[in-house]
Amino acid sequence: MEFFVIFMSALLVNNFVLSYFLGICPFVGVSNRLDSAFSMGMAVTFVMSLAAVVSWAIYNLVLVKYGLEFLEIVSFILVIASLVQLVEMFIRRMSPVLYQTLGIYLPLITTNCAILGVALLAVLKQYTFAETVVFSVGAGLGFTLAIVVMAGIREELDAADVPAPFRGAGITFITAGILALTFMGFSGLVR
Amino acid sequence: MGSVVAAIMTMGAIGLFFSVIISVAYQKLKVEVDPRVEEILDVLPGANCGACGYPGCANYADAIVKGAPVNRCSVGGMEVAEAIARIMGVSAEPMVRKVARVRCRGDRERAVWISEYVGIQSCAAAHLAAGGGKLCNYGCLGFGDCERACPFGAIRVNERGVAEVDENVCIGCGLCVQTCPRGIITLEPVDKRVLVFCVSQDSGKVAKKACKVACIGCGLCAKKSPDAIVVENNCARVVDADKVTDESIEKCPTGAIVRLGSRN
C-alpha cells in the first residue's frame, strides 16, 4: 500500500513538472509534437529511474559508510551525466531520426533539475531501495504524462486562432500554467 | 585529512567505473560517420547563419555528403564552394550572389507620420500597435529589428530613419528578410541594378498621400519597358533589370523606381 501511495504521489499529486516546476526546459522545448514528446518522456523516465537507483546505491552503500555525505550532489551529477551519455549513444545508434528530433534537449537531460531532484528527494526522504525504484519510476511517468498532455494541447493550438501577441512562447506558458492549476486538483489525494 | 583522501578516492572510483562503461558502450554503439563530413565542417566558415537553407553548418555538411549542392554557402563564397567540391570530387557551379534590398525609401521627410509612437522600440511591436505612427501601412518603420538581426552588420537604419543595406558587407543570409514584420526586405541578385523601392499595395491616391516616393501603380514604367516590369496590387516590380529603359526611370512620377549606381 505504501508503494502505491508513493507512486501516485510522484505521478499526480506532486508531479515533478507541474507541482515542483522542475524539468521545465524539455517540457516546453520538446512538447510541440506528440511523438517526440513521448520519446523524450521515455528517455527521461529511463534516466530518472536508473539515476535515482544508482545514486541511492552510491549514497547509502558508499558515501554514508565512509562519512562522505557531502559528496552527495557531486557524485549524483557524475552518475546522471554518465547515464545521459549512454542514453545519447544508444539513441544515436538506434534511431538517428529521433536523435535529430530531440537535438540539443537530449544532452540537456543532464542538467535537468528534475532528475537531480528525484535522486536528492529519494535520499532525503530516506526511502528504501524498493521505495526509490517506485518513486523514480512514478516521477518519470509523471513527467511523461505532463509532457504528453502538453504536446496534445499544443498540437491542437497549432490549428487554433491564437491572437498574434500570444503566439509561440506566450500561449505555451499560459497553457502550462493552466495545466499546473488543473493538477492542483489532485492535492489531498495523498496525505 | 582522512576524509579528503577518502573523498578523492571515492569520486575517482565512481569516475573510473563509469568511464569503463562509457568506453565499452562507445565501441559497441558506434555510428558510422562519413569522414568527409569532418573535412567539410573544417572548410565551412562556422557562422551557423542558415543562409544555405540548413540549420547550422553541421547540418549543411551532412546534407552535402548526401548530395546537396556545394555552392550554397553565401558567407564562404566561391572559395568555400570550390574547397567543398574538391572534397566531394564534384565541380562547383558559379554562385549568383544575392544581397538584401530594403524596398522602401519613405523616411522621415518623404513619408507622412500621423502620430507619435511611444512604446517598445521595435518594428514588430510598432507594427502590431496600429502601424507605429506611419501613415503608410507597408513602409519601413525604422526601429531597427533588421539591424539587430543581422550577424554581419550589413543593414543599418540610416540618419533619415529607414533601413539601408551595405551591399559590400551583405552576404545574403536572409535573416533580415525573416525579421522584417512588413516583408519590405527581399533578396535580389547583386547585379540587379534597377529596383522599385516600394512595396505599398495601397491605391495610387492613398499611397501618394502617405509618401512622396511611393509607387502609385500607374504602370508608366511598365509601358516604357515591356516584359521588364510587372504591376501587381497597385505596385510595380522589376522582373528583368537589364531590359528596363532609362525612359521608365525618368517617367516615374514619384521616383519610386531607381537605378542603383555601379558596384564598387
Residue A107, min C-alpha distance to chain B (Å): 15
**Does residue A2 belong to any structural domain of this protein?**
no
DSSP line for B151-182: SSS-EEE-TTSSEEE-TTT-----HHHHH-TT
Confirm whether A93 is domain-assigned. yes
Same domain assignment for residues B162 and B221: no
Within a domain: A36: yes
Name the residue among A52, A21, A29, A15 with its Cα closest to residue A146. Answer: A15
Residue B11 lies in a domain: no
Q: Are residues B107 and B64 in the same domain?
A: no
Which of B63, B88, B113 is where one domain is finished?
B88
% pLDDT > 70, chain A? 99
| Helix residue spans in B34-185 (DSSP H) | 35-43, 57-65, 77-88, 123-128, 145-149, 175-179
Residue of B nearest to A165 (CA): B128
B153 part of a folded domain: yes
> Distance (Å, rounded) from C-alpha A46 to C-alpha A36?
15
Domain-embedded: residue B202: yes
Q: Report how many domains make up chain A.
A: 1
Predicted pLDDT of residue B138 = 92
Q: Are A45 and A11 in contact (CB under 8 A)?
A: no
CATH of the domain at B163: 3.30.70.20
Fill in the amino acid letter for B183: G
Decide if A165 touches B, using CB distance below 8 A. yes
- Domain membership of residue A34 as a residue range: 9-185
Over range B240-252, report the average pLDDT.
Answer: 88
Are B108 and B184 members of one domain?
Answer: yes
For residue B139, the model assigns a pLDDT of 93
In a domain, A191, yes or no: no
Question: For residues A50 and A87, what is the distance between their CA atoms, to the nearest angstrom?
Answer: 11
Residue type, A175: T
- Quick check: A121 pLDDT over 70? yes
Distance from C-alpha of B70 to C-alpha of B184, rounded to nearest angstrom:
30
Which cell numbers hold the place of A85? 551519455
* Out of A88-102, A165-179, B97-111, B144-158, least confident range: A88-102
- For residue B15, being part of any structural domain is answered with no
Q: Of B190, B213, B236, at which residue does a domain stop?
A: B190
Start-to-end CA span in chain B (Å): 72
Say if B30 falls within a structural domain. Answer: no
> Which grid coordinates are listed for B233?
496590387
| Residue A148, pLDDT above cutoff 80 | yes
Considering the domain architecture, whether residues B199 and B178 belong to the same structural domain is answered as no
Same domain? For B45 and B127 the reply is no
Q: Does A89 touch chain B (CB under 8 A)?
A: yes
Number of domains making up chain B: 3
Establish if B185 belongs to a structural domain: yes
Look at residue A81 and tell me if it is in a domain: yes
Lowest mean pLDDT among A126-135, A150-159, B68-77, B204-213: B68-77
Q: Using DSSP bridges, classify how beta strands B98-102 and B185-189 pair: parallel, antiparallel or unpaired.
A: antiparallel
Q: Does B7 touch chain A (CB under 8 A)?
A: yes
Q: Provide the CATH number for the domain around residue B79.
A: 1.10.15.40
The model's pLDDT over A53-111, given as tens digits with 9 standing for 90+, comes to 999 999 999 888 888 889 899 999 999 999 999 988 988 888 888 888 787 788 888 88
Sign of CA dihedral B156, B158, B164, B170: negative
Residues B158 and B241 in one domain: no
Q: Which of residues 111-170 of B touch A (CB under 8 A)?
A: 128
CA distance A15 to chain B (A): 30
Q: Which domain holds residue B66?
A: 35-88
A4, part of any domain: no
Please identify, among B46, B69, B88, the residue that sits at the C-terminal boundary of a domain. Answer: B88
The answer to whether residue B57 sits within a structural domain is yes
Q: From CA A103, how far away is CA A26, in angstroms rounded?
A: 11
Residue with grid cell 566531394, as numbered in its chain: B88
Cα separation, B78 vs B93, whole angstroms: 9
What residues of chain B, 10 to 29, have a C-beta less than 8 Å from chain A?
Answer: 10-11, 14-15, 18, 21-22, 25-26, 29
Residue B72 domain-assigned?
yes
Nearest C-alpha of chain A: how many angstroms from B33? 11
Residue A190 lies in a domain: no
**pLDDT score of A151 more than 90:** yes
The string of pLDDT tens digits covering residues B125-134 is: 898 888 888 9
* Cut 0.80: pTM above it: no
Residues 6+ apart with CB under 8 A from A100: none
Closest among A66, A51, A25 to A122, alpha carbons compared: A51
3-state secondary structure of B258: strand
B204 and B264 share a domain?
A: yes
pLDDT reading at B1 higher than 70:
no
The DSSP annotation for A133-150 comes to: HHHHHHHHHHHHHHHHHH
With respect to residue A1, please indicate whether it lies within any of the assigned structural domains: no
Residue carrying the nine cell digits 574547397: B83
Residue A63 DSSP class: I
